[in-house]
Chains A and B, each alone.
Chain A
């Protein structure tokens, strides 16, 4: 506590808030975790996989959030290598914890939409849950391949990261079923968002797998490709799953008019197509930055950034369009009047 109040500095890499502000956030998450664990704990018998995902996600969010603030203690921050490694360890796992909760919500929604809970109890679902937990705990090291920490950290991460090929191949294998489900549920707004999130999982997992190979990471690291991965995951996967949840709940209590549906569908496409351009422009910027940094001897920072700027203009325009699409969806959601009872 003393360290939090005395560290006259700002939270590293995760944002720019003074460390003391981390305390109310931590308290809020602890209260949320108590509520989740209390509610879920009351459910007897075998849990569906999404309950495991929610509980694991909320517990590890608190652990990794605390870890992200360990730099307030001098022992952690007074060694450059330890400080950087732990920052990226905690941030990598923090995102993994959040993703665990959001993906759990995605599976929950799929079960509700299909009216079939069986998929939440299969061995395959639990296998992927445990694979997710292992990746949450150990694959963060792919952020720090180029930091001179112990080689075993990177070797563990490399091996664990490559297990995600199993998830990737499973997506390809079940693609036909996914497409037939889309046709079956084409009138459901929530399913449309879930399908979009599946496409984003596919694209981002492909990118993540490539970036997790150290020899490739040597080129992509420190470039906008890392940002593409982060943005694609945050907006493409997480936001689409959260939108699916929102429109699933709203569709239960509200009868959409034709005009409203048209606006929501338009918002969906205005968010997703520019997001693809946004994502590709970041990858283009990253390739350009990597080329000038690694292949052109003596290229200055400003030379490199001059070549990146074209992609940044496209990125900015696409970003505004993504914002427009998401705002349209949010406004349509907020317009729905929730019944009192």
Chain B
């Protein structure tokens, strides 16, 4: 086998092993599990309506609307249901059925349980790193 092929295969194997480690140990945070069927259905609705185009989770997404990571925790399910059902002057009313609204709310409730964003008290180390209290620990 020529050296070029060996180099490419080595890079691909390294990438695959690292990805496997990330998919398993790196992200196996039980706080993030969608624990029921309604939350799982809500996740698909979240994508079907492309909510991430305007909203963020953990600061990742569009900036037209607020970050929703802890919105349910702060304002409650009833408040969130009203927003989703009615829309606002800036957010369209998607005319979702009540079941669908409940599914989305359930999904956001699971997101809320998965962690905190923005961090209220990040632990900043002298070398510029930050620590997150509920991050996965070995």
Give A residues with C-beta under 8 Å from B. Answer: 7-13, 16, 47, 55-56, 59-60, 63, 67, 71, 74, 76-89, 133, 137-138, 143-155, 158, 213-218, 221-224, 227, 289, 293-294, 301
Contact = CB atoms under 8 A, between A and B. Distances in A.
B119 A146 contact: yes
18 contacts: A9-B45, A56-B8, A80-B57, A80-B111, A81-B32, A82-B28, A82-B29, A83-B43, A137-B15, A148-B132, A149-B27, A215-B129, A215-B130, A216-B128, A218-B119, A222-B58, A222-B67, A293-B118
B38 to A, nearest CB: 12
A149 B15 contact: no
A210 to B, nearest CB: 10
Nearest to A55: B8
Nearest to A19: B47
Nearest to A285: B63
Contact of B129 (A59, A76, A143, A155): A155
Interface of A: prevailing SS: helix
Interface of B: 4, 8, 11-12, 14-15, 18-19, 22-23, 25-29, 31-34, 40, 43-45, 47-48, 50, 52-53, 56-61, 63, 65-67, 110-111, 114-119, 122, 124-125, 128-132, 134-138
A74 B52 contact: no
Interface of B: prevailing SS: mixed
B58 A84 contact: yes
A290 B118 CA distance: 11
A222 B22 contact: no
B103 to A, nearest CB: 13
B33 A79 contact: yes
B53 A222 contact: no
Contacts of B15: 60, 63, 137
Contacts of A149: 22, 26-27, 29, 135-136
B58 A147 contact: yes
A244 B128 CA distance: 38
Given A78-B40, A79-B33, A155-B129, A146 B26 contact: no
A138 B21 CA distance: 12
Contacts of B136: 81, 148-151
Given A148-B31, A149-B26, A215 B128 contact: yes
Nearest to B57: A84
Q: Which of B25, B61, B136 has the most CB of A within 10 A?
A: B136
Given A10-B50, A146-B118, A215-B129, A133 B26 contact: no
Given A215-B124, A293-B118, A7 B22 contact: no
A146 B28 contact: no
A144 B136 CA distance: 13
Nearest to A158: B129
Nearest to B116: A148
Nearest to A153: B26
